[in-house]
Amino acid sequence: MGSAYDTELPDSSVEVIFCMSLIHHLDLPRARAEMLRVLRPGGLVVLKEPIRFSAGYGVLRSFFPSHEDISEDEHPLTRDEFRTFQEGFDSDGLRFFRLPFVPLVQRAIPKTTRTVLRTSDFLLRALPALSRYATVAVVRLRKPDEQKREE
């Protein structure tokens, strides 16, 4: 197999692409172009990516550096990058996950992981304005079917 920019798959040969925490490592326009090329009309991309839509949270996060091994260019997607990646697709099913307190509580009290994730999910559903502080977004993208659009 080729790279994310040149998979060596035939045009319009893929029905579904699952993309989990990958594109924030890539050149977004090139990766999007390859996905659009290999997807059949009406094909889907299910995309899960780390995000950072709040500048204030980004500043706060800089005080708590990650302990994980991360690549030099890796970064959570900004709102503009996330929106730009969706260009050329029909987008629906957008959901936000994991408020910033989740990893802090998980580190402090590991046995509370399930409860803290449920609490975060509840808050994001009950108070949609909190989505700007979410740390993960999941969206379903559909490659337009040009024939259906013309009808």
pLDDT, tens digit (0-9, with 9 covering 90-100), for 70-98 = 666 678 899 999 999 999 999 989 999 99
Residue 61 lies in a domain: yes
Task: Give the per-residue pLDDT at 36.
Answer: 96
Residue 25: CATH number of its domain? 3.40.50.150
Quick check: is 125 in a domain? no
Q: How far apart are CA 15 and CA 145, in angstroms?
A: 12
**Token pair belonging to 62:** 């800089």
pTM above 0.85, yes or no: no
Tokens of 70: 């991360």
How far apart CA 20 and CA 108 sit, in angstroms, is 26
Would you say residue 48 lies in a domain? Answer: yes
Which pLDDT score, from 0 to 100, does residue 17 have? Answer: 97
Does the CA dihedral 125-130-136-142 come out positive or negative? positive
Q: What is the pLDDT of residues 109-146, one digit of tens each?
A: 989 989 999 999 999 999 999 999 999 999 999 999 87
Q: Cβ of 133: how many Cβ atoms within 10 Å?
A: 20
Give the pLDDT of residue 140: 97
Question: Edge to edge, what strands does the sheet with 136-142 contain?
Answer: 14-20, 39-50, 136-142, 90-97
Cα gap 19→22, rounded to integer Å: 6
In a domain, 57, yes or no: yes
42 located within any domain: yes
**Predicted confidence band at 44 (pLDDT cuts at 50, 70, 90)?**
very high
Confidence of residue 54 (pLDDT cuts 50, 70, 90): confident
* CA distance linking residue 24 with residue 95, whole number of Å: 17
> Does residue 37 lie in a domain region?
yes
Mean pLDDT of the chain: 88
Angle at 90 between CA 88 and CA 95, to 5 degrees: 120
108 part of a folded domain: no
Cα first-last separation, the chain:
37
CB 16 within 8 A of CB 46: yes
Any domain includes 93: yes
- Residue 53: domain span: 14-65+74-98+136-145
Give the number of domains in the chain: 1
